[in-house]
């Protein structure tokens, strides 16, 4: 995760308490994990940065543990751009550290890494190009795959390029593409007309799944340390709500 450039510097973001009080979220149509991932389908999670797979859908991944689904995680970048200009966190150190953090996080979610394939594409952090990524994804995505990515208007260039590439490839090969907000929880507010509420569905998480997600996020220590961590306290509190929100494909709502 690196912070989106268009966020107002120092802005604290929408507090979790505001999201918690929002009747709109309480009333969102529910979806079950079996609907997000029908039996027999392969789940493919496409994460622009190491940790986006946890922040966007870690609760879903933790909920699937019992089913031991076949899956593929695609890490688009190595996340080397999360601390621009830092002497402590150089790009090379971030590349190495964040790979280890990801592995720890996936284990903490309870993923069966024997059944999950993990492809790292090493595209440049904050420089993901939709066309380049789509070309790489075409070799990896199969018809019938259930593809989850960040949202195409999430506010970070890599999150958006990743979603657009996934949408293109899914449409071309008959996969289903579902998007999940990450940074939108920071900059949006309940009722925000910039979010596609009509295709939003809420996956309720049990306590065990939230706890696994919490522990998995804590594995990404490079993003949490310091007086101004990349992942701020407010955003984390919001991301640890007992539910996750997914945007279904337009016209494809079950
Ligand atoms: Zn990210």
Under 8 Å CB-to-CB from 43, ≥6 apart: which residues? 37, 64, 69, 70, 71, 72, 145, 146, 148
Instruction: Compute the mean pLDDT over every residue in the chain, rounded to the nearest whole number.
Output: 92
Q: Please spell the DSSP secondary structure of 47-100, one letter per residue.
A: ESSTTHHHHHHHHHHHHTGGGT--EEEEEEE--TTSSTT-SSS-HHHHHHHHHH
Q: Is the model's pLDDT at 235 over the cut of 70? A: yes
Domains and CATH numbers, the chain: 40-247 (3.40.50.10320)
Q: What is the pLDDT of residue 228?
A: 84
Helix (H, G, I), strand (E, B) or coil at 37: coil
Q: Is the model's pLDDT at 48 over the cut of 90? A: yes
CA distance 41 to 168: 19
Could you read off the pLDDT of 128-150 as tens digits, one per residue?
Answer: 999 999 999 999 999 999 999 99
Q: What is the pLDDT of residue 112?
A: 82
For 227, other C-beta atoms within 10 Å of its C-beta total: 4
For residue 159, how far is its CA from the centre of ligand 1 (angstroms)?
6
CB 62 within 8 A of CB 243: no
For residue 171, how far is its CA from the centre of ligand 1 (angstroms)?
23
For residue 154, how far is its CA from the centre of ligand 1 (angstroms)?
9
CA distance 28 to 202: 6
Model confidence, pTM: 0.94
Q: How far is CA 79 from the centre of its chain?
A: 13
pLDDT above 70 covers a percentage of the chain that reads 93
For residue 206, how far is its CA from the centre of ligand 1 (angstroms)?
25
Torsion of CA 134, 135, 140, 141, to 10 degrees: 40
Q: Is the model's pLDDT at 43 over the cut of 50? A: yes
Of the pLDDT bands very low, low, confident and very high (cuts 50, 70, 90), residue 157 is: very high
CA distance 178 to 199: 10
Q: How far is CA 24 from the centre of its chain?
A: 22
Q: Is the model's pLDDT at 55 over the cut of 90? A: yes
> Longest Cα pair distance anywhere in the chain, in angstroms?
49
Average pLDDT over residues 97-119: 92
- Helices 91-109, 52-63: axis angle to 10 degrees equals 10
Q: Is the model's pLDDT at 4 over the cut of 80? A: no
Say which residue the tokens 């790292």 belong to. Answer: 120
Structure tokens at 76: 């688009």
For 156, other C-beta atoms within 10 Å of its C-beta total: 25
For residue 199, how far is its CA from the centre of ligand 1 (angstroms)?
22
Under 8 Å CB-to-CB from 23, ≥6 apart: which residues? none
CB 46 within 8 A of CB 148: yes
Structure tokens at 1: 């995760």
For residue 158, how far is its CA from the centre of ligand 1 (angstroms)?
7
Q: Is the model's pLDDT at 68 over the cut of 80? A: no
Helix (H, G, I), strand (E, B) or coil at 245: strand
């Amino acid at each position: 995760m690196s912070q989106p450039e268009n966020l107002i510097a120092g802005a604290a973001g929408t507090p979790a308490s505001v999201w918690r009080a929002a009747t709109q979220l309480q009333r969102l149509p529910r979806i079950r994990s079996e609907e997000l991932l029908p039996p027999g389908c392969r789940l493919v999670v496409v994460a622009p940065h190491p940790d986006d797979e946890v922040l966007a859908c870690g609760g879903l991944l933790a909920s699937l543990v019992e089913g031991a689904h076949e899956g593929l995680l695609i890490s688009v970048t190595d996340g080397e751009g999360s601390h621009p200009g830092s002497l402590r966190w150089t790009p090379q150190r971030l590349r190495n550290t964040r790979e280890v953090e990801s592995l720890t996080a996936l284990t903490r979610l309870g993923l069966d890494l024997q059944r999950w394939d993990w492809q790292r594409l090493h595209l440049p952090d904050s420089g993901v190009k939709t066309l380049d990524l789509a070309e790489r994804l075409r070799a990896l995505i199969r018809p019938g795959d259930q593809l989850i990515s960040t949202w195409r208007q999430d506010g970070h260039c890599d999150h958006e390029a990743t979603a657009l590439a996934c949408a293109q490839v899914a449409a071309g090969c008959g996969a289903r593409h579902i998007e999940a907000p990450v940074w939108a929880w920071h900059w949006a507010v309940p009722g925000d007309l910039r979010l596609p509420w009509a295709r939003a569905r809420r996956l309720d998480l049990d306590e065990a799944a939230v706890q696994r997600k919490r522990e998995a996020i804590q594995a990404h220590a490079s993003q949490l340390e310091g007086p101004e961590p990349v992942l701020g306290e407010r955003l984390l509190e919001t991301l640890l709500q007992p539910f996750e929100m997914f945007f279904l494909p337009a016209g494809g709502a079950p």
